[in-house]
Structure 1
Amino acid sequence: MTTPTEQLLPGDADPLWGPVLTSLTTCLCATLTAAGRPACACCLVWGASPPAHDWCDCDCDDGSGQAWVRLVRWDPIVDYGANSGGRCDNRRMRAVIEVGISRCVAVAGPDGQSAPECAQREADALSALADARLMREAICCDALSDLLVELDTMRPTGPQGGCAGVIMQITVEA
């Protein structure tokens, strides 16, 4: 049984990280759409790990796959100097944020029985590279221009369940 989700504005949920996470999600979705590579679902998600690859629609309204933004962890930056608020002065934070895209990939050759051909695998690899480039563009959007944003890692993910993609982690200080 599910319960209705409380609808909060980003700033009400958390005045610092709510707007950062929703702005990054908006930037990611807009960057993918502007490049002609929209995702079937592009959303801010919560959880200890990336969303399951089983929600990787192959075709929907000119798009495919799923894209997400997820808070991995956040740490206070505490200044114990004489002019600081001490251990409870946690207004400055550093967060690791994940940006990911997962799309359908070939799981069989043209005959439906054999392994995918090299041309199919190459097309999937080039598609993932294009998504990686667009994710790097998304983290440079105007909505995040006042924040310190550093790219940490990018790595392939999958294939699993006919889906594969790219996960990028960034560190944001605000």
Structure 2
Amino acid sequence: MTTPDVVVDSPIGTLLATVTACVCAKLRSIGRPACDCCLDFGADVMAMDGCDCTCDDDEATGRVTGRVLQIGPAPSNVIDTTSTCHTAAVQVTLQVGVFRCVELSDDGSAPTCAQATAEALGFLRDEQAMRAAVSCCPELRDIPGKWRLTPGLWQPHGPSGGCAGGVISVQATGLITFPKETT
């Protein structure tokens, strides 16, 4: 599995990177590792046509991608929403997706019932791993900001371009610290 080595200097970026890494680690722990684990940006669901069918890493397949869907003020009944010039309470909606290759025939016929069933059950295992990662990953407790995470809806996507999978939304409420001025 490859995870880019980047410096994350944003509280929400740290949250997104950690949630995504937790999903990748959980998938590996249940024997369904992904080839790549990365962050994405954009208004639409991540592109599915970039998932690798195989890679050089322990029979891994596919790609895990995390992105931010929206950022807004936190509801006042959830957390102290007193904003200052240094901090603010926010509610962030994240989305993490797992996309893998699906069986395609050379003649365009549908996969066999056994192939379709195996893929469907595999995608449901991915969903369970995603939900468990958001709910139980110990690294999420170490992120500054007193984040409360709640896994939301999981939605299947595809097939498209030989790939299919699903995305889960994650509601996160916490405190962010604004960047310090350099002047």
Note whether the superposition's TM-score is higher than 0.5: yes
Q: Secondary structure at the match of 1:129?
A: helix
Q: Which one of the candidate residues 7, 11, 36 is aligned to 1:9?
A: 7
Of 153-162 and 138-147, the range deviating more from structure 2: 138-147
Distance 2:118 2:6 in 1: 41
TM-score by length of 1: 0.82
2:101 corresponds to = 104
Q: Distance in 2 between matches of 1:85 and 1:115?
A: 55
* d(CA) in 2 for partners of 1:95, 1:69: 13
How much does 1:77 deviate? 2.5
Query: What SS does structure 2 have at the residue aligned with 1:95?
Result: strand
Correspondence 1:91 to 2:58: no
Compute the displacement of 1:50 (Å): 2.4
Q: Would you say the 8 A contact 1:50–1:70 is kept in 2?
A: no
Cross-structure match for 2:140: 144
Q: Which runs of no fewer than 5 residues in structure 2 stay unpaired? A: 175-183
- Aligned with 1:20 (options 4, 12, 15): 15
Give the corresponding residue for 2:156: 156
CA 19–85 in structure 1, closer or farther in 2 if over 3 Å, else same = closer
Of 27-36 and 59-68, deviating more is 27-36
Work out which of the residue numbers 40, 54, 77 in structure 1 matches 2:35.
Answer: 40
Kept in 1, the 8 Å contact 2:83–2:89? The answer is no
Q: CA RMSD in A?
A: 2.3
Unaligned runs of 5+ in 1: 1-6
1:76 corresponds to 2:67: no
Q: Which amino acid aligns with 2:90?
A: M
Q: How many residues align?
A: 159
Higher relative contact order (CA 8 A, sep 6+): 2
Identify the residue that residue 4 of structure 1 maps to in structure 2.
Answer: none
Distance 1:113 1:157, change over 3 A: closer
Percent of pairs with identical residues? 38
Distance 2:149 2:166 in 1: 19
1:128 to 98, 120, 123: 123
